[in-house]
């Protein structure tokens, strides 16, 4: 057991906010990528005790919960998203006792703990797959997606994987192909099979019994396929985005987004409802995610929330991008509750994508302000509160299979996963050993130690923002109302019964006239002089009506 935590078990923190609203509705959730947060052993790879060591820092940000990316037993072909044992901790990260200690400390600090659950696929090293591939008639023969070749020996259909090659790999033992929407080392589970559903739900129960407060469900719309294995049609219109992968050429009508997925989600909800105030959020990829987000969160029998890649992959932050993302959520009773993320372990960091000619710090503050102003839950990725740009990882140091396969056409994921800079020293206070990914020299100057005492730093700006949101009924759970057309300005109001907050952002490239908002107090601003009638590019403010 690491000295930073003790193993005393505690009960979950309260599941409701003042007024009876569930804790997660409007929550700010801090995502931790365990490999890169803090290493306590000198291996160069972060671990669970390292997270424990710095939970006080996370709590001091004012967030409601932490989301831990996978720490389960894995050969790490996809850095933990290839799970070989759903119910144990990979030795890289520590032990189950370390996890229990982490949960206990988080709860004592008033933090909820959310973990990933990967129900779409496993590692090819998982005992289930090892048994399944041995024959066509064993107990787990139908736990994965197997199919005979075409008469000419080619794969069963034209499906392409996210990471580049076809979605099918030949297995000589069974004389069949198996499906993998990602790496060949990540065979797809056959979640149509009730026995598979029972097995992954049992894994979920294992972690709920250990005190976790919620699940982020990875790649959820890939969890069921078309049993008839029909070919995907080609994309009719690429909408100005040239394909960079075979995957991009197809309309993924049949390898994902099956109509039976919501029925499986009802079973997940039946499980989580047996525990107090458990939160569930789905990751929804694809070009048209809104319908699935709504279906997956409809009513009180499915998941609590969902997020997509509207902002995570947006090359620019514009009024049109924001309006399109928000327009699908009408404030209607019974409608699902969205979540939003601007940066995470799967996408290049937002300041790098959105800064243009503006200073990185100002762009970071602007994006943080917008994230905290949106109706829904806010996911804050480690380092986002520091304004970190995408790290520069040389080609020879790349580890992410997607980055390697598509280099140099994407920024890849490694640059968003580099070690967290606690200090400006060698190793950045992350590790005494050689870090698993190189640390960008720019990040050293943006460390926690460098920013904590600077009242104008991105870190202290983020803390003020989170505190403003936490104290505001309108910003945490109010409705959204767009102001009358303000030209290039993004201008909307968040409203609750007792409060109205104006949210004004100049996302254009030119100065615009500041809107007149009578009887309002500015809560926080960036890039703007309150005495000026002009809002420069990248300027924004939140103002509470008196």
Which helix or strand (DSSP H or E) is residue 268 part of? helix 261-272
Supply 211's token pair.
């005190």
DSSP 519: S
Closest by CA position to 28, among listed 70, 59, 69:
59
* Cα separation values, 165 from 79, 134, 295, 353, 495, Å: 19, 24, 30, 27, 48
- CA dist., res. 117 & res. 286, Å (int): 19
Which pLDDT belongs to residue 380? 98
Residue 229 φ then ψ, to 5°: 55, 40
- CA dist., res. 489 & res. 534, Å (int): 12
- CA dist., res. 445 & res. 423, Å (int): 8
User: Exposed, middle or buried: residue 485 (CB in 10 Å: 0-12, 13-18, 19+)?
Assistant: exposed
Which pLDDT belongs to residue 2? 45
SS (H, E, C) 92-107: CCCCHHHHHHHHHHHH
Closest by CA position to 491, among listed 546, 541, 544:
541
Q: Give the three-class secondary structure for 474.
A: helix
Which pLDDT belongs to residue 8? 40
Contacts of 202 (CB under 8 A, 6+ apart): none
- CA dist., res. 217 & res. 219, Å (int): 7
* Cα separation values, 357 from 115, 313, 322, Å: 37, 19, 20
**Tokens 């019964």 map to which residue?**
497
Specify the pairing of strand 520-526 against strand 540-545.
Answer: antiparallel
Which pLDDT belongs to residue 137? 96
Which pLDDT belongs to residue 6? 42
Which pLDDT belongs to residue 7? 38
Supply 437's token pair.
């990914």
Averaged over successive runs of 10 residues, the pLDDT of the chain (546 residues) comes to 44 62 96 98 98 98 98 97 98 98 98 98 98 97 98 98 93 97 97 98 98 97 97 90 89 96 98 96 91 93 95 94 90 87 96 94 98 98 98 93 79 92 96 97 97 97 98 95 87 94 95 89 92 92 94
Which pLDDT belongs to residue 21? 85
Q: Which residues are catalytic?
A: 218, 283
Q: Which domains does the chain have, with CATH numbers?
A: 28-123+194-237+257-470 (3.20.20.80), 124-190 (3.90.400.10), 479-545 (2.60.40.1180)
- CA dist., res. 126 & res. 199, Å (int): 13
Instruction: Give this prediction's pTM.
Output: 0.95
- CA dist., res. 457 & res. 460, Å (int): 5
């Amino acid at each position: 057991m690491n000295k930073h935590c003790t193993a005393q078990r505690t009960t979950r923190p309260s599941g409701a906010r003042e007024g009876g609203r569930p804790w997660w509705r409007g929550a700010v959730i801090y995502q931790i990528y365990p490999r890169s947060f803090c290493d306590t052993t000198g291996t160069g790879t972060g671990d669970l005790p390292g997270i424990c060591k710095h939970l006080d820092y996370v709590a001091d940000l004012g967030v409601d919960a932490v989301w831990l990316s996978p720490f389960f037993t894995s050969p790490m072909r996809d850095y933990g998203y290839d799970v070989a044992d759903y119910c144990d901790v990979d030795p890289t990260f520590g032990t189950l006792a370390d996890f229990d200690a982490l949960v206990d400390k988080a709860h004592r600090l008033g933090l909820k703990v959310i973990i990933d659950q990967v129900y779409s696929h496993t590692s090819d090293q998982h005992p289930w797959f090892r048994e399944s591939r041995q024959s066509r008639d064993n107990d787990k023969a139908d736990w994965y997606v197997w199919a005979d070749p075409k008469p000419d020996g080619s794969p069963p259909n034209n499906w392409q994987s996210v990471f580049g090659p076809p979605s099918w790999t030949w297995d000589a033992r069974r004389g069949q192909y198996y499906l993998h929407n990602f790496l060949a080392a990540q065979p797809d589970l056959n979640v149509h099979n009730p026995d598979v559903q029972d097995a992954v739900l049992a894994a979920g129960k294992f972690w709920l019994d250990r005190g976790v407060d919620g699940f982020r469900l990875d790649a959820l719309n890939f969890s069921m396929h078309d049993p008839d294995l029909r070919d995907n049609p080609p994309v009719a219109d690429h909408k100005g985005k040239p394909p960079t992968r075979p995957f991009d050429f197809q309309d993924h009508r049949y390898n994902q987004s099956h109509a039976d997925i919501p029925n499986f989600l009802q079973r997940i909800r039946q499980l989580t409802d047996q525990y107090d105030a458990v939160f569930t959020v789905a990751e929804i990829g694809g070009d048209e995610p809104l319908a699935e987000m709504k279906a997956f969160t409809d009513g009180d029998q499915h998941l609590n929330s969902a997020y997509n890649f509207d902002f995570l992959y947006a090359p620019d932050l514009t009024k049109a991008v924001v309006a399109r993302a928000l327009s699908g959520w009408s404030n209607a009773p019974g409608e699902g509750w969205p979540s939003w993320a601007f940066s995470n372990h799967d996408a290049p960091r937002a300041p790098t994508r959105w800064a243009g000619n503006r200073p990185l710090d100002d762009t970071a503050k602007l994006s943080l302000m917008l994230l905290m102003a949106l109706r829904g839950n806010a996911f804050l990725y480690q380092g986002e509160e520091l304004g970190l740009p995408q790290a520069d990882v040389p080609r020879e140091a790349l580890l992410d299979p997607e980055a390697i396969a598509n280099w140099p056409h994407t920024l890849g994921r490694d640059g968003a996963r580099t070690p967290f800079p606690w200090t400006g020293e060698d190793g950045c206070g992350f590790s005494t050993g050689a870090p698993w990914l190189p640390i960008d020299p720019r990040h050293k100057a943006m460390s926690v130690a460098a920013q904590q005492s600077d009242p104008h730093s991105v870190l202290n700006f983020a803390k003020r923002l989170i505190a403003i949101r936490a104290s505001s009924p309108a910003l945490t759970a109010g409705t959204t109302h767009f102001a009358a057309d303000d030209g290039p300005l993004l201008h909307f109001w968040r409203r609750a019964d007792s409060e109205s907050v104006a949210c004004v952002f100049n996302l254009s490239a030119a100065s615009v006239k500041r809107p007149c908002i009578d009887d309002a107090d500015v809560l926080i601003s960036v890039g703007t002089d309150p005495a000026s009638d002009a809002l420069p590019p990248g300027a924004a403010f939140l103002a509470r009506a008196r």
